[in-house]
Chain A
């Protein structure tokens, strides 16, 4: 049988689709690994060394990676916490108490888990603000913005289900209010609420469903969305901006720098900083436990976690049905904003309506959140 003259010697790795032979590393161990993992190192180097715009050297362009790192922290601590958590109303609170009081380092893991979830939500909001105000959601990146909105929703729902699992008085009644809000959604609301709660009120089934959502469905969803988000981000490349500031623009000759290792190093430093901040927060402000949930006793002041303060205040200001419908509208508007914005800009190319609306939205978010924090009823 004639042998192909271009074929590599038997046993040597080849690039996919019968391409050129892969260059072998010099070290013996490297060669051993290369034969078993036939990855095209040149291609990997090419794709990872992609030049990225100079402005990425700035710290606040690292906020996209921050939630991902915090998600990883939560995955690890969450797995460890799930070893001890019992998703049953009669044992849930006690199991959390046991983690916080008896299990070695349990309080620390729980504190890290809770703080990283809070920081993740804050980081997602900051990241979205940066993307929104710089117009990075515009064509051709509309889809990635929509995935980002999905990630925000999933992250908030993640936080809500996690808080509910603790089965404190406030988390129980927070879940009850959330169930009532869901019920107020026209047509599908009652079905959706029953699906979520597993009954007419928060009870045994709710805790099991929230647990499955929290440790199975939501992590899988966030991982998938995060994968799609990063994939699209890599396919489109980093949005290029024309800054006036020479520091951000870079010199004419050097407008870019390599993604790896330069930008990855920046992200790593941010990661180390995050680990430090998280440890400090967990040690100085460890997460405690409030009163155990009592379905027979409504607390005088029901409050959700801070990231839902604005919705709670909005609900109190406008009434149940209007609040639910308007929040749904805000969510839809946020999702469809790249297309709405494009339509506006087709008519008025110089329009800065998005910036004005964004400032209004952030100010409203801040005012409603702080208002609810101070409110006693």
Chain B
């Protein structure tokens, strides 16, 4: 074998060896993506902050250190710095800073997200002030119930604490103090001192600003839960929620790109359907961009441009479901909401309108039992039924939903309406119109044929002895 031939062997084996190292690096690199590694970049100003805050608030410093912001050099000062002219600016260790980092501050880098958010229903969440809910919380239950309850989700209108003479109260360092009823607050529609609306930290909790956390259903569940809008409970009951809980480890929640069908396939979360990217549409921070109905008011209605919004949602569904499946679901969903409207919402509203038109109710909200009954009907039970069907939660649609709607309507609301109407002809006509409609005909009694049909069903399903 000549030396030149050996040289060729060395070359071939060297390339083989180096090639094998590239393969190993590729395989190992793929694994590393599962565990993103923090590698913070600390600017000079933020390094000074960290020197103290690593000691004083070590958890904040550690959370930031693990964050994506830290990797990109977005530190304490980059977010908290303020212009001297800003109302909440104060001097701290020789720098002008502000405590609250508003969407306007975040929007300095995240322009598109901030713009989308400002157009979203979320950003209007604090505008419920003046609504029935607010009267209930702030007046009837007591102001602090609203401060620590309603406002923590809806958002407060941040204000300064004031001295008796009306000037802004300051602490001994000269820092302006915030009204403790309006801050701390991370409500999604918080009205900030700079006029911007919202709190990015409502979902992207500070100071980790974790993508993964914002994609978790629990983040939404902080507010979207309970008797009046139990979305998190409905989700957990649904197949979507079961799949998520089962395959949480496969959700790739920390991935920078999170495209359904590309970066994860295990299950959908709230974010998947309402916000996150698919192969055909980008991520949006306008959380209503794919919602076609509003299920919140007494009578549900389709939203502006609902067809466009529904197509956007259908595009998400289509990653897992065939077109026939999606179309059949929406047919059933629409029909169920229409049933709520026609069978319970419109009749109950017409009765309440008649009572008010005849001045049989005082102008004061919630001072009469029927007002509580009506409120529970649409605000609690009626929403549960509608939201249950919208997110495929069967128990919330029926037992926690329409069953309780029916009980409330027939055996609480209508009796109270009769009582409040006190024989008034307009109210009586309204009640008669309700009860004469075919949906409520069953209340007048069943025909022998209907009764026989039900008995036959029970006999066949559960045995002859069940029907006496």
Contacts and interface: CB of A to CB of B under 8 A. Distances in A.
A352 B47 CA distance: 63
A243 B70 CA distance: 56
Contacts of B4: 243-245, 248
Interface in B255-292: none
B36 interface: yes
B21 A355 contact: no
A83 interface: no
A101 B70 contact: yes
Interface residues of B, number: 34
Contacts of B29: 285
A104 interface: yes
Interface in B1-56: 1-4, 6-7, 9-11, 13-14, 16-18, 20-21, 23-25, 27-29, 32, 35-40, 42, 47, 50
Contacts, number: 102
Contact of B16 (A104, A288, A352, A362): A362
A339 interface: no
Given A288-B36, A291-B35, A355-B1, A373 B23 contact: yes
Contact of B24 (A130, A291, A306, A363): A306
B14 A60 contact: yes
A95 interface: no
B156 interface: no
Contact of A102 (B23, B36, B40): B40
A4 B359 CA distance: 137
Interface in A285-302: 285-291
A370 B6 contact: no
B27 A373 contact: yes
Contacts of B14: 60, 126, 129-130
A241 interface: yes
A373 B13 contact: no
B65 interface: yes
Contact of B13 (A133, A245, A306, A369): A133
Size class of A's contact patch? 35 or more
Contact of B37 (A102, A104, A288): A288
Nearest to A375: B27
A42 interface: no
Contacts of A126: 14, 17-18
Nearest to B13: A362
A97 B14 CA distance: 36
Contacts of B1: 352, 355
Contact of B21 (A104, A122, A289, A291): A122
Contacts of A242: 3
Nearest to B14: A126
Interface in B237-255: none
Nearest to A111: B39
Given A134-B7, A245-B4, A373-B23, A101 B16 contact: no
A45 to B, nearest CB: 31
A369 B28 CA distance: 12
B65 A102 contact: yes
Interface string A38-73: 000000000000000000000010000000000000
A369 B20 contact: yes
Nearest to B44: A104
Nearest to B40: A101
A241 B3 contact: yes
Interface of B: 1-4, 6-7, 9-11, 13-14, 16-18, 20-21, 23-25, 27-29, 32, 35-40, 42, 47, 50, 65, 70
23 contacts: A60-B11, A60-B14, A101-B65, A122-B21, A125-B17, A126-B14, A126-B17, A129-B14, A134-B3, A243-B7, A248-B4, A286-B39, A288-B32, A288-B35, A288-B36, A290-B35, A306-B24, A309-B24, A355-B1, A362-B13, A366-B16, A369-B21, A374-B27
List 4 A-B pairs, minimum CB-CB distance, nearest first: A288-B37, A366-B20, A373-B27, A373-B24
Given A122-B17, A373-B24, 8 more contacts: A60-B10, A101-B39, A101-B65, A126-B17, A129-B10, A133-B9, A243-B7, A366-B16
